[in-house]
Each structure stands twice: as structure tokens, then as C-alpha cells.
């Protein structure tokens, strides 16, 4: 649901103030949305991404530079492979879609490839919706949309997304195509990379479903996407159909849990700004004014992960141990709380987490006594954590 005009204008002005004067907004892509959905409790990432802040520049200014992102070599190789896959009007790409997803349809001897050029993301989004409507209204032929533009409402702010391709089948159904540069070796690929691609594609499917809901009759958005990768160590395309129903359901649920961006912005101190040009102490105070929800998984998904990890370690937060450990510790939020509970110095004995820590401490003491004092002593708590790389 789009924001009312006056409310949306005020929010855009507020987000521009948070970025800093004359700082252009960084587009929120599907990769960032998938990472945001994986950690919906992080208000810091939600407001920074919603405001279009360049988190890599902020991390550099904070003295905790990011190593997250693709190398220039990987980007160049990926672009060259995508160009090859889409050559000749997408003939090879459509052949793979037919082979892997729609063998019952007529082979794609030729396809319609409309021009999606328009001014600005809003114009491209409208042009994409128009071409999808046109292709769906005239079934019986294949249509390839090369780099369409889709919009998805995220916590009250629109995000513009650009999938590699969307194919409209002869029956009027829609399929998302993801083109990646990692290889398919003997027909299979790295599960972690396939999972990341599936989560990214799930964001595109959600955006397509919003477009489909506005059409009558409502077309079917397929929940099996086509993943196209190089075959073995060559530059020849190979493809695999990936069922993303689980990723789509999880992503939709997590995005719905995100606190609305205007609610987070309203709680910030007056004059808060995240411009990398600010003095280090002012920028640090601005970033720290928004609560974060650090987890080790952030290291592979967020440019501010090293900064947040350092602060989490300084505070002795148990979130640095990972989500499974955090879930088992209940209301024990810091390492000191856990140790005090284990020693019987703090905590409610009726709390299952506290009782479990005390039981574990007792079992350790019994094992140490049975070993005649040879059981290794518990390591001392570190006084100061190592600096973030």
C-alpha cells in the first residue's frame, strides 16, 4: 500500500536529511532486502537501508571497513556471462526455460522482447507493469523481459528491484530468471550460493505478485525459478529449476515483521545524520543512536558487521555467540550475566536458562573433582576483545 502523498513526501524529506546534504540515495536491491529479511530485528540496518545510506562508506569512516561484496573481476565475469546467455534475443535462455520448466508448451522459436526503457525507476516500473499486462493479455507466445524494474513496499518505503529477467510463458504465467557466475559442477552447485540466489529470487517473486494482484484475471507467478550458471569450468550456460516456496514464505513473513521506517526515524534524536563526511565522533554517535541486532551471520551480509561486532563484544553481549546460543540463554543478555548465574550469584533459580547454567556448572565441578584436579580450569574472561579487522 503506497503512502499518502503528504506523508510520503515528509518521510522522503526526513530520509534525505538522515543521508546528509546532497548525498545521493543508494538503491536498495534484492540482495540487501534478502539480508534485511534474515535479520528483521535490526533497526539500524532497516533505517540505513531505507534512507539509502551507503553503509560501506559509513563503515570506512567509522574505522571498521567492510570486506563484504563482490570483486570487480567477479562482476565483470558475471556481466560477460549474462550477455552470452541473453544473446540472439534470449534464444538460449528461453530454450532453457522451456526445457527445465515448461516442456508441455510450444518450443520458443521466436519471442517478444519489449523495450523497457523509461525515465527514472518509477517510469521503468510502470513500463514493466504495462508490458507484463500486455504479454499476459495475449497468451500463446513467449515474452522475455530483460532487466525489468519492480517495486516492493518495505516497511512503508518503496524499494525498486531489477531481476536479471522475467519470462512470460505461453499460458500467461510468469517466471523469474536468476543468472549467476558460480559454476554448476556435474549438475550441482555450492548449496550456500544456491540458497542465497533462492532468497534473492524470493524477493523478486514477492514484487511480481504485487504486480499480478493488480491485473484481472490475476496471472500465476511461478514459485520455481530458473537458475542459470556456467557449466563446469566453461562459459557455456546450464540451468536448474529451484523451488523457492520456502524462501518466499520466510522472506514475506520477515519483511512483514520489520518496524516501519518512519517509526524508527521518529525515535531518532533531532538532527541525526549518517553522512560519512561528519567527524568520526558525531557519526559514531548517530550510528549508535539506532539499536542493532548483531549476529555472526551479519559478517557475510552487512557492510557494518565489523563495527557492530566490535560494539557487541565490548558490551559482552551473548549475540556474538550466535542465534542458537542466544535463544538458549533466555533473559541472560551478557556473558557476565551468564557467568554470574552459573556461579549462583544472580538470576532467578526458577528460570530454566539460569537453572541449566547452574546445573552445567555443578556437573563441571563434579567432573573436575573426580579427575583429581586435573580437569582444565575454566578460561578467564577476556578483559578486552580483539580489535575488529
* Pairwise CA distance, residues 379 & 356, whole Å: 20
- Which of these three, 271, 291, 315, is where a domain ends? 315
Half-sphere exposure of residue 362: CA atoms within 13 angstroms, side-chain side? 8
Q: What is the pTM of this model?
A: 0.75
Q: Are 163 and 178 in contact (CB under 8 A)?
A: yes
* Pairwise CA distance, residues 326 & 357, whole Å: 13
The number of folded domains in the chain is 3
- Which of these three, 235, 255, 275, is where a domain ends? 255
Residues 166 and 79 in one domain: yes
Residues 166 and 65 in one domain: no
For residue 203, report the phi and psi dihedrals to the nearest 5 degrees. Answer: -65, -45
b or e along 141-161 (b: 16 or more beta carbons within 10 Å of the residue's beta carbon)? ebbbbbebbbbbebbbbbbbb
Q: What is the pLDDT of residue 275?
A: 92
b or e along 297-325 (b: 16 or more beta carbons within 10 Å of the residue's beta carbon)? ebeebbbbbbbbbbbbbebbbbbbbeeee
Residues 323 and 271 in one domain: no
Which bin fits 25, alpha (ψ -120 to 50), beta or left (φ > 0)? beta
Residues 48 and 174 in one domain: no
* Pairwise CA distance, residues 357 & 348, whole Å: 11
**Number of residues that make up the chain:** 389
b or e along 7-41 (b: 16 or more beta carbons within 10 Å of the residue's beta carbon)? eeeebeebbbbbbbeebeebebebbbbbbbbbbbe
Q: Are 220 and 174 in contact (CB under 8 A)?
A: yes
Residues 118 and 237 in one domain: yes
For residue 106, the enclosing domain spans 72-255
Q: Are 46 and 264 in contact (CB under 8 A)?
A: yes
Residues 59 and 146 in one domain: no
Single out the residue of 280, 232, 201, 241 nearest to residue 33, CA to CA. 201
The three three-digit cell numbers of residue 231, written as one number: 557449466
Residues 22 and 60 in one domain: yes
Please report, in tens digits, the pLDDT of each residue of the chain (389 residues total). 444 445 567 777 888 889 887 888 887 788 888 888 888 888 999 899 888 899 999 999 999 887 766 667 778 888 889 999 999 989 999 999 999 999 999 888 888 999 999 999 999 999 999 999 999 988 889 999 999 999 998 877 778 999 999 999 999 999 999 999 899 888 888 998 999 899 999 999 999 999 999 998 899 999 999 999 999 888 899 999 999 999 999 999 888 877 788 888 888 988 899 999 999 999 999 999 999 988 888 888 889 999 999 999 988 888 888 878 777 777 777 888 888 888 887 777 777 878 888 888 888 888 878 876 555 555 554 444 444 44
How many angstroms from the chain centroid is the CA of residue 363? 42
For β-strands 150-154 and 157-161, DSSP reports them as antiparallel
* Segments of 54-96 assigned E as strands: none
Residues 240 and 278 in one domain: no
Residues 347 and 296 in one domain: no
What is residue 156's DSSP assignment?
T
Residues 113 and 218 in one domain: yes
Single out the residue of 175, 119, 114, 167 nearest to residue 142, CA to CA. 167
- Which of these three, 255, 290, 307, is where a domain ends? 255
Residues 369 and 232 in one domain: no
Residues 87 and 117 in one domain: yes
Q: Are 182 and 231 in contact (CB under 8 A)?
A: no
Amino acid at each position: 500500500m503506497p503512502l499518502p502523498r503528504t506523508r510520503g513526501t515528509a518521510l522522503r524529506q526526513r530520509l534525505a536529511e538522515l543521508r546528509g546534504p546532497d548525498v545521493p540515495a543508494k538503491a536498495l536491491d534484492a540482495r540487501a532486502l534478502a539480508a534485511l529479511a534474515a535479520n528483521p530485528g535490526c533497526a539500524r540496518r532497516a533505517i540505513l537501508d531505507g534512507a539509502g545510506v551507503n553503509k560501506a562508506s559509513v563503515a570506512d569512516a567509522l574505522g571498521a571497513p567492510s570486506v563484504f561484496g563482490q570483486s570487480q573481476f567477479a562482476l565483470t565475469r558475471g556481466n560477460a556471462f549474462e550477455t552470452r546467455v541473453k544473446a540472439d534475443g534470449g534464444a538460449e535462455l528461453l530454450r532453457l526455460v522451456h526445457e527445465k520448466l515448461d516442456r508441455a508448451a510450444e518450443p520458443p522459436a521466436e519471442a517478444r522482447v519489449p523495450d523497457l526503457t523509461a525515465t527514472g525507476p518509477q517510469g521503468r516500473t510502470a513500463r514493466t507493469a504495462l508490458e507484463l499486462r500486455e504479454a499476459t493479455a495475449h497468451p500463446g507466445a513467449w515474452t522475455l523481459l530483460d532487466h525489468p524494474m519492480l517495486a516492493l513496499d518495505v516497511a512503508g518505503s518503496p524499494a525498486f528491484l531489477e531481476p536479471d529477467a522475467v519470462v512470460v510463458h505461453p499460458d500467461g504465467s510468469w517466471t523469474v530468471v536468476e543468472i549467476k557466475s558460480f559454476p554448476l559442477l556435474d549438475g550441482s552447485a555450492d548449496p550456500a550460493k544456491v540458497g542465497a540466489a533462492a532468497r534473492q529470487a524470493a524477493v523478486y517473486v514477492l514484487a511480481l505478485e504485487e504486480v499480478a494482484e493488480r491485473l484481472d484475471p490475476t496471472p500465476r507467478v511461478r514459485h520455481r525459478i530458473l537458475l542459470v550458471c556456467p557449466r563446469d569450468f566453461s562459459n557455456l550456460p546450464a540451468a536448474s529449476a529451484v523451488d523457492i516456496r520456502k524462501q518466499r514464505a520466510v522472506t514475506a513473513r520477515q519483511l512483514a515483521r520489520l518496524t516501519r521506517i518512519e517509526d524508527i526515524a521518529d525515535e531518532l534524536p533531532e538532527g541525526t545524520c549518517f553522512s560519512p563526511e561528519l567527524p568520526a565522533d558525531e557519526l559514531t554517535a548517530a550510528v549508535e543512536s539506532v539499536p542493532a541486532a548483531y549476529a555472526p551471520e551479519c559478517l557475510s551480509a552487512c557492510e557494518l558487521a565489523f563495527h557492530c561486532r566490535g560494539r557487541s563484544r565490548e558490551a559482552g553481549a551473548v549475540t556474538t555467540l550466535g542465534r542458537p546460543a542466544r535463544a538458549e540463554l533466555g533473559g541472560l543478555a551478557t556473558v557476565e550475566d551468564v557467568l554470574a548465574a552459573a556461579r549462583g550469584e544472580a538470576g532467578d533459580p526458577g528460570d530454566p536458562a539460569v537453572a541449566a547454567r547452574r546445573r552445567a556448572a555443578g556437573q563441571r565441578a563434579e567432573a573436575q573433582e573426580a579427575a583429581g584436579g586435573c580437569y582444565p580450569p575454566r578460561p578467564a574472561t577476556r578483559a578486552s576483545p580483539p580489535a575488529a579487522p
